[in-house]
Amino acid sequence: MSEKKKIILGISAYYHDSAAVILIDGKIVAAAQEERFTRKKHDPAFPKNAVRYVLEEAGVTMEDLTAVSFYDKPFIKFERLLETYHAFAPSGITSFLAAMPVWIKEKLFLRKILRDEFEKVTDIALPKKTPILFPEHHLSHAASAFYPSPFEDAAILTVDGVGEWTTTGIFHGKGKDITALKELHFPHSLGLLYSAFTYYCGFKVNSGEYKLMGLAPYGHPKSERVEKYKKLIYQDLIDVREDGSLLLNMEYFNFATELEMCDDEKWNKLFSLPRRKPEDELTEEYMDMALAIQEVTEEIVILLARTAKKLTGSKNICLAGGVALNCVANGKLHKTGIFENIWIQPAAGDAGGALGAAYAAYHIFLKQDRRVSGDGRDAMQGSYLGPEFSSPEILRTARKYEAVSHYVADFDTLAKRAADLLSEGKVVGWFQGRMEWGPRALGARSILGDPRNADMQKRLNLKIKFREGFRPFAPSVLAEESEKYFDSDIASPYMLFVFPVKENRRKIIPATAKGLYERLYVSRSDLPCITHIDYSARVQTVHKETNERYWKLIDAFREKTGYGLVVNTSFNVRGEPIVCTPEDAYRCFMATDMDALVMGDYIFLKEEQPGEQKDFQNTYEAD
Amino acid sequence: MEFLHDIWGFLKTRKKFWLLPAIVVLLVFGGLIVFSSGSAIAPFIYTVF
């Protein structure tokens, strides 16, 4: 008789980026973030839609589950809160009174709440005998980084804001085992330090960090101001040790007791620069500040990686935690050559904790063996792990909106049509197959453009995404062609590395171009739309074996233009989660300046569509 | 019961018995707020008057 399948449901919820994952016998069957269903960015609520979806996709019910695994330990988090409030008392009383009711009413009773929610969502109760497990937050991150990686043995580095107590962890992954080696504890956190600068530069904490990273290249490297800011950070804000551990000077930070990140007055005095308000102009001082903290972050990540190397002796490293989404730091880490190979969980933030929790339950709690593919491929299946929609479902949306569409039976013809549109300077919405897992659009829910087009960045930012003009765009390049355009020797299928654009493709930025927008709209290479101001690009390498349709589209574009890459940005407007359903996609298409939408086997051309929706972008709060 | 079992396991494993009084006080007041659906001191006022 064959052994019963081991089916694990992984959950992350109640902080930000709720998500659900289902793992069957160690294989990821489905994974999705709740925000994609509720259309509420970073939705922290119990992921009822995501749970419903992953169970349906796997064809199982609550009764079939071997275990449920939640991505952190609520009691230890509660311990941290009580001890922190106690340590800082009486300051923090307001935050204490605000935080306690939700803990006393809900979070402390998480096991019961989860059981109740499962029953509400699926109408089937989780059997009493099915265990609900609570692996530690950073163990969940470490598991999400190591278990799906292509490595048998690897150092694991997890860096984020905070989990229970841990803010940074170094682990050693070997076969099916993960051993914790070193931890750094709250309030001393690299993630929270970066978030404090995100807040101070006028962006939203927990979502604006990547904007700060995108702003950094506009700073002036090695300039007096950047060096001064860096010196102040090292001297007054943090104490960094040789092993990469750091102490924050809590005189300057309020996050432990207040509902804000830092003491504005003290920071203003220290940097001689007031906190920027969200929609204020981005002056050179803030660009230099962004560069200073970016460089400090990179330096600390490299020190941590050196420590991980020393402790494990491994030639491989896996990364997860919110800081692992800092693709500039990842690129620099790769360049140091400390590790031969580097692999990063595409959902490195808290959503990925659901996957790690499920993996931890499977390999650690259930002691199941781990099989590595052996051909260098990871277990993420290109990160296309979300819902997929059939032609009848697409047609239903078309009918609902009385949309005009063209059916193209042969995919090669469809890819050629889309490539033609792109080469004519048109912006194309691309909706194909299963939705991506993680914060990046990887060619399943993407908006595409021609990277050679000098006006594309401005058009995409201001008329399609309705977001800040300085934000850079990323290229999706045929894996086989990547080295033609970028100085890179590794694959970057999840858009988690920044590589320099080849020198022979660069153009000199005239010294007369000084302000942000003057520098922004100068052509920097023969691929102006994806070349950032420092000649870098956040690259996605596209592989035929994980996304054949997307690969074929880019290949058709290559045949037409000679360039094997396209601009790829997520299919959404500012503040909106990436589209999930055909209806989300059509509404976004109609509300923006997009020219065409290629959804499944159908092409929708803007000029043929009836009516035009207005002010769609105002539906979503700016992030 | 499951909750009491969990919280005891947590205090024992983490050796954080000193948190017990704080947790009990918070739970008692929390319970009073929930069950009296309002102020935590309301039940005491009724017993006094």
Contact between A21 and A28 (Cβ < 8 Å) = yes
Chain B's closest residue to A113, CA to CA, is B3
User: Of all residues in chain A, what percent carry a pLDDT higher than 70?
Assistant: 98
Instruction: Indicate yes or no: CB of A76 within 8 angstroms of CB of B10.
Output: yes
Q: Please give the single-letter amino acid code of residue A576.
A: E
Q: Please report the pLDDT score of residue A54 as a whole number.
A: 98
Residue with tokens 């929930």: B34
Mean predicted confidence (pLDDT) in A145-174: 97
Mean pLDDT, all residues of chain A: 93
Tally the C-alpha atoms within 13 A of residue A519's C-alpha that lie toward its C-beta. 19
Q: Please report the pLDDT score of residue A584 as a whole number.
A: 96
Please say if the pLDDT value at position A472 is more than 50.
Answer: yes
Judged by a CB distance cut-off of 8 A, whether residue A99 touches chain B is no
**Which chain B residues touch A104 with a CB distance below 8 Å?**
26-27, 29-31, 33
Mean predicted confidence (pLDDT) in A489-495: 93
Helix (H) or strand (E) holding A158: strand A153-159
Judged by a CB distance cut-off of 8 A, whether residue B12 touches chain A is no
Mean predicted confidence (pLDDT) in A277-292: 93
Instruction: Indicate yes or no: CB of B3 within 8 angstroms of CB of A109.
Output: yes
CB pairs under 8 A between A and B: 37
Q: Please report the pLDDT score of residue A101 as a whole number.
A: 84
Give the β-pairing of A596-599 and A428-431. Answer: parallel
Judged by a CB distance cut-off of 8 A, whether residue B22 touches chain A is yes
Cis? peptide before A90, omega within 30° of 0: yes
Q: A394 Cβ partners below 8 Å, 6+ apart?
A: A405, A582, A599, A600, A602
Report angle CA A355, A571, A42 to the nearest 5 degrees: 45
Judged by a CB distance cut-off of 8 A, whether residue B47 touches chain A is no
**Which chain A residues touch B6 with a CB distance below 8 Å?**
75, 111
Alpha-carbon Rg for chain A in angstroms: 24
Q: Please report the pLDDT score of residue A435 as a whole number.
A: 98
Judged by a CB distance cut-off of 8 A, whether residue B30 touches chain A is yes
Please say if the pLDDT value at position A270 is more than 80.
Answer: yes
Mean predicted confidence (pLDDT) in A532-560: 95
- Residue A67: CB atoms within 10 A of its CB come to 21
Least confident of A95-109, A123-137, A384-398, A524-538: A95-109
Least confident of A178-187, A251-260, A283-292: A251-260
Using one digit for the tens of pLDDT, what is the confidence trace for A186-200? 999 999 999 999 999
Judged by a CB distance cut-off of 8 A, whether residue A79 touches chain B is yes
Burial label, B46 (beta-carbon count in 10 A; 0-12, 13-18, 19+): exposed
Q: How confident is the model at residue A511 (pLDDT cuts 50, 70, 90)?
A: confident
Q: Please report the pLDDT score of residue A616 as a whole number.
A: 63
**Which chain B residues touch A76 with a CB distance below 8 Å?**
10, 14
**Which chain A residues touch B30 with a CB distance below 8 Å?**
100-101, 104-105
Instruction: Indicate yes or no: CB of B30 within 8 angstroms of CB of A111.
Output: no
**Would the CA dihedral through A360, A365, A366, A371 be positive or negative?**
positive
Mean predicted confidence (pLDDT) in A302-321: 98
Please say if the pLDDT value at position A110 is more than 90.
Answer: yes
Measured CA to CA, the distance from residue A252 to residue A266 in angstroms comes to 6
Please say if the pLDDT value at position A432 is more than 60.
Answer: yes
CA distance A112 to chain B (A): 8
Judged by a CB distance cut-off of 8 A, whether residue A303 touches chain B is no
Mean predicted confidence (pLDDT) in A227-240: 97
Chain B's closest residue to A85, CA to CA, is B22
Judged by a CB distance cut-off of 8 A, whether residue A105 touches chain B is yes
Q: Please report the pLDDT score of residue B44 as a whole number.
A: 55
Candidates B6, B30, B31; nearest CB to A75 = B6
Q: Please report the pLDDT score of residue A92 as a whole number.
A: 85
Q: Please report the pLDDT score of residue A1 as a whole number.
A: 45
Please say if the pLDDT value at position A392 is more than 70.
Answer: yes
Using one digit for the tens of pLDDT, what is the confidence trace for A529-545? 899 988 999 999 999 99
Q: How confident is the model at residue A89 (pLDDT cuts 50, 70, 90)?
A: confident
Instruction: Indicate yes or no: CB of B2 within 8 angstroms of CB of A104.
Output: no
Judged by a CB distance cut-off of 8 A, whether residue A270 touches chain B is no
Instruction: Indicate yes or no: CB of B30 within 8 angstroms of CB of A100.
Output: yes
